[in-house]
Amino acid sequence: MRLSVRLLLAMTGIALLALAITTRPVARANNEPAVFPIGERVAIKTPLGLRSVPIPTDNPPTRETIALGRRLYYDPQLSADGTISCASCHAPQFAFGDARKVSVGVGGKTGTRHAPTVINSAYNAFQFWDGRSPSLEDQAKGPIANPVEMAHSLDGVVNRLQTDSKYRELFKKAWGTDQITIDMVAKSIASFERTVIAGNSPFDRFYFGHDKKALSPAAQRGFRLFTDPKKANCAVCHTIGKEDALFTDNKFHNLGIGADTRGNLNDPGRYAISKQDADMGCFKTPTLRNLANRAPFMHYGSFPTVKDALAHYIGGGNMNDHLDKAIHALDFLTFDERDDLLQFLDSLNGPLPENIGPPPDLAMSPSPDKKAGY
Ligand code: HEC
Ligand code: HEC
């Protein structure tokens, strides 16, 4: 009897230890205790071409946290002067990216990089072009406190939300308390972002759904060029898996974007984080899904069209000391082949889920600054 109690205790200990190891809490401000959503966990539906969305153990999505995160995402109250929301730079009409070359934040201040799309960021191994953030939860706190983005402080946001009775009610429903913390804010936004996913494109229906008619003959030829190591070889970085296709290897490469004619780079990219010489001018491979509405392209917003981006590869990138070995001139591709590649890229546009636009009650509430929209 005694023995079995001991055994039970030992087993509980091992189970708790395993839980402690697998649970990866987000960095907390002011040593606040970890927070857990109170509602029932919901499954996020994934379209053809994507695997199930990775979920951190300490932030299971619930109906309430997703809805709250959606509201926060579209709410300019998160910025210092109430004019800029996440959607100002990651707008639904631009495939959750930005039509401007580099982002513009509070007071018209410009940043130095183009805003990447939030679509499928749930699958990123790292967030930001230089991968400096490990998770969506961690990432969400960045822009709020960034002086050229939302220019607020994390405490300032919490205090402002705390005075709003509607938010107190929504946080209470989602987190079981109306004492708002920045972790609850970041985790709610992250749970909303995990619902902003796109697959089920003509390519997915062709490749994963085995519908031979889903792709035109030109796009099928483009697909073969895209994956052929002796031809365009794009898939070596823009990966297509056996069961899903993210079109990114989640690694960092130097294409010479932002380099001048002498090979001087305007942004060290991944090097600033890793301090590894090989990472100089390297940026994270972005997904190629839903390119249609998210021009301009690259970390510097260098190219206004997909065709211009392709021309960069045809030319062999911009020469500099750290240009990736996989980048070399593709001028042997015929003009027909280049067109086929563009047709293939166009086949990667898929529908977005419903219920990811601005929440109706927020869109109707009077904004302190009419210019802001959302
Ligand atoms: C003023 C414009 C601006 C605002 C406002 C803004 N972002 Fe961003 N966002 C950017 C830029 C620019 C980057 C890339 C920065 C970098 O890589 O250094 C980025 C990167 C990201 C990424 C990383 C995506 C990837 O593929 O690496 C996510 C996710 C994201 N933002 C979500 C948000 C959320 C959530 C908010 C609101 C809390 C927000 N952003 C507010 C401009 C903005
Ligand atoms: C060596 C790896 C590598 C190869 C090979 C490669 N890419 Fe890329 N691709 C990247 C990286 C990294 C970026 C972002 C670079 C930057 O902004 O500095 C990128 C960006 C892009 C973009 C812009 C997407 C956006 O969100 O801004 C397009 C379009 C693109 N690639 C298409 C292609 C095509 C087509 C091919 C084949 C002809 C190809 N790529 C080959 C790594 C690669």
- What are the tens digits of pLDDT across the range 5-49? 454 545 544 444 443 333 344 444 555 568 999 999 999 999 999
In the predicted model, what is the mean pLDDT of residues 307-319? 97
The answer to whether residue 305 scores a pLDDT higher than 80 is: yes
In the predicted model, what is the mean pLDDT of residues 88-100? 97
Task: Give residues with Cβ within 8 angstroms of 305, minimum separation 6.
Answer: 295
Ligand 1 contacts CB of residue 149 (under 6 A): yes
Mean pLDDT of the chain: 90
**Phi/psi of residue 218, nearest 5 degrees:** -65, -45
Ligand 1 centre distance from Cα of residue 25 (Å): 21
Ligand 1 centre distance from Cα of residue 116 (Å): 7
pLDDT band with cut points at 50, 70 and 90 for residue 363: low
pLDDT band with cut points at 50, 70 and 90 for residue 4: low
Ligand 1 centre distance from Cα of residue 115 (Å): 6
Residue 174, CA distances (Å) to 56, 112, 224 in order = 17, 36, 47
pLDDT in the model for residue 85: 95
Closest C-alpha to 371, from 139, 57, 84, 67: 84
pLDDT in the model for residue 32: 58
- Ligand 2 is surrounded, with C-beta below 6 A, by 232-234, 236-238, 253, 255, 257, 283, 285-286, 288, 291, 297-299, 306, 309-310, 313, 324, 326-327, 341
Cβ atoms within 10 Å, residue 281: 28
Distance CA 215, CA 193 (A): 29
pLDDT in the model for residue 201: 98
What is the chain's Cα-based Rg? 23
Q: 37-68 pLDDT, tens per residue?
A: 999 999 999 999 999 999 999 999 999 999 99
pLDDT band with cut points at 50, 70 and 90 for residue 360: confident
pLDDT in the model for residue 20: 37
Atom 40, ligand 2: which residue's CA is nearest?
Answer: 234
Residue 56, CA distances (Å) to 51, 99, 131, 191 in order = 15, 31, 18, 10
Q: 204-251 pLDDT, tens per residue?
A: 999 999 999 999 999 999 999 999 999 999 999 999 999 999 999 999
The answer to whether residue 86 scores a pLDDT higher than 70 is: yes
Structure tokens at 303: 């190219």
pLDDT in the model for residue 17: 40
Distance CA 110, CA 105 (A): 6
Ligand 1 centre distance from Cα of residue 352 (Å): 19
In the predicted model, what is the mean pLDDT of residues 139-156? 89
Distance CA 79, CA 362 (A): 15
Ligand 1 contacts CB of residue 103 (under 6 A): yes
pLDDT band with cut points at 50, 70 and 90 for residue 362: confident
- Residue pair 110/102 in contact by the 8 Å Cβ criterion: yes
Distance CA 7, CA 23 (A): 24
pLDDT in the model for residue 75: 96
Best residue for ligand 1 mutational test, from 75, 118, 250, 290 (most atoms within 8 Å of Cβ): 118
Higher pLDDT, 144 or 330: 330
Best residue for ligand 1 mutational test, from 103, 189, 191, 248 (most atoms within 8 Å of Cβ): 103
